[in-house]
Copies of this chain bind each other. A is one copy, B any other.
């Protein structure tokens, strides 16, 4: 019963197999092989336009390089207060940008409130050198708490980005889960709404180690080859990432895997609701379920072998928990089996 995170899963067999297949023979390193080219082309098709794609080894690298690409002296990027890049990357965005700042923006359900975003940006009048200068906006889709920006919500943020001439970045560590839940294409959920840069995560959804940084406008990425190389993120045997994507993006495997993870979360959620032993903290929209229950009960579940985190409640919800209660985060993945879900629900009851 592994619900700690989707990165506890391994790799999907089809991906492992494809990786083995591309393991033989010689090919040009550093992203110059035919297979690298093929996958880059695949991304063009996926996004229905010519994009610039850079493979990197971690989601943190993708997010941080996205900001580095649009870096400005005294720059300030705006993201949700609970954003992964702000809370869980040990200052990597600041490191990659040589000290540009992340400014937290509040908003319910893990999503940036556009009015608050505008107010935060307005704190930086143009040419007021003391405060610094805005440089980017970043949203996470699906969010860190398993919710989704609806298309019109992304649009509203993109309009602000455009008004202030700020690039809009999407941290898509769980982008597949979002796409299948919203029934949108990559193009529809990104540049058609005004998103400029995407951290396209595949590791959590069935790969070993495959992240792509995608620029909708390649011009924005013109310095990226140097930025990536000096950040030690240019992999020599790059077909190793290309090979994973080759299987992942083939024949909708990636969407199928995400659908499965989401379905497992939905099943888990139903089980929790019906258990009457816990309640949902909020409605899961992808593959993360947040539930509230007694700490004693949570501890017991863990003792009996259920693996999950007791999570810090969002700052936006200070009164969420009663004193004896804890918040559980339960994450499903492509590898989660129905039996695991059912066993957990059984145990919960």
Q: In angstroms, how far is the closest chain B Cβ from the Cβ of A56?
A: 8
- Given A74-B229, A230-B95, A8:B23 Cβ within 8 A: no
A162 contacts the other chain (CB 8 A) = no
A139 to chain B, nearest CB (A): 20
| Contact B10 A25, beta carbon cutoff 8 Å | yes
- Chain A interface size band reads 35 or more
**Interchain CB contact under 8 A, B100 and A98:** no
Beta-carbon contact of B225 and A127 below 8 Å? yes
- B interface footprint on A68-98 (CB within 8 Å = 1, 0 otherwise): 1000111110000000000111111011111
CB contacts under 8 Å to B, within A98-131, are 98-102, 123, 127, 129-131
A94–B96 touching, CB < 8 Å: no
Q: Which residue of B lies closest to A94 (CB)?
A: B99
Specify which chain B residues have a CB less than 8 angstroms from the CB of A64 in the assembled complex.
Answer: 232
Stretch of A11-19, A37-45, A143-151, A321-329 at the chain-chain interface: A11-19
Instruction: State in angstroms the CA–CA spacing of A37 and B219 once bound together.
Output: 38
- Alpha-carbon gap, A95 to B89, bound state (A): 18
Contact B95 A98 (CB under 8 A): yes
From A17, A27, A57, A232, residue with most partner B Cβ within 10 Å: A232
Expressed in whole angstroms, the minimum distance between the Cβ of A269 and any Cβ of chain B is 20
B91 engages A208 (CB within 8 Å)? no
Report whether A90 and B61 are in contact in the complex, using a CB–CB cutoff of 8 Å.
no
A235 within 8 Å of B (CB atoms): yes
A47 part of interface (Cβ distance < 8 Å): no
Chain B: minimal CB distance from A36 (Å): 13
Interface assignment of A240: CB less than 8 Å from any CB of chain B: yes
Chain B residue contacts of A19, Cβ below 8 A: 16, 19-20, 208
Q: Report how many copies the assembly holds.
A: 4
A203 near B132 with CB under 8 A, answer no
**Contact with A26, one of B8, B57, B74, B88 (Cβ below 8 angstroms):** B8
CB of B229 within 8 A of CB of A209, answer no
What residues of chain B lie closer than 8 Å to A26, measured between beta carbons? Answer: 2, 8-10, 307, 335
Residues of B within 8 Å of A229, CB to CB, are 60, 74, 89-90, 92, 129-130
Interface of A is mostly: loop
The answer to whether the Cβ of A231 comes within 8 Å of any Cβ in the partner chain is yes
B29 touches A10 (CB 8 A): no
Contact A90/B208 with A10-B26, A26-B8, A236-B58 known, Cβ cut-off 8 Å: no
Residues 241-289 (chain A) with a chain B CB within 8 angstroms: none
A231 touches B92 (CB 8 A): yes
Give A14 Cβ to nearest chain B Cβ, in Å: 11
Contact B20 A16 (CB under 8 A): yes
Q: Is the beta-carbon distance between B73 and A227 smaller than 8 angstroms?
A: yes
Q: A61–B223 Cα gap in the complex (Å)?
A: 20
Known A26-B2, A26-B10: A89·B230 in contact at CB below 8 Å: yes
Interface residue? A310 (CB, 8 A): no
Interface centre among A25, A89, A97, A223 (most CB of B within 10 A): A89
Do residues A91 and B95 form an inter-chain contact, with CB atoms below 8 A?
A: no
A22 within 8 A of B: yes
> Which 4 A-B pairs rank lowest in CB-CB distance, beginning with the nearest?
A94-B99, A61-B232, A2-B26, A57-B57
Q: Point out the residue from B20, B57, B101 that lies within 8 Å of A20, measured CB to CB.
A: B20
Chain B residues closer than 8 Å to A20, beta-carbon distance: 13, 16-17, 19-20
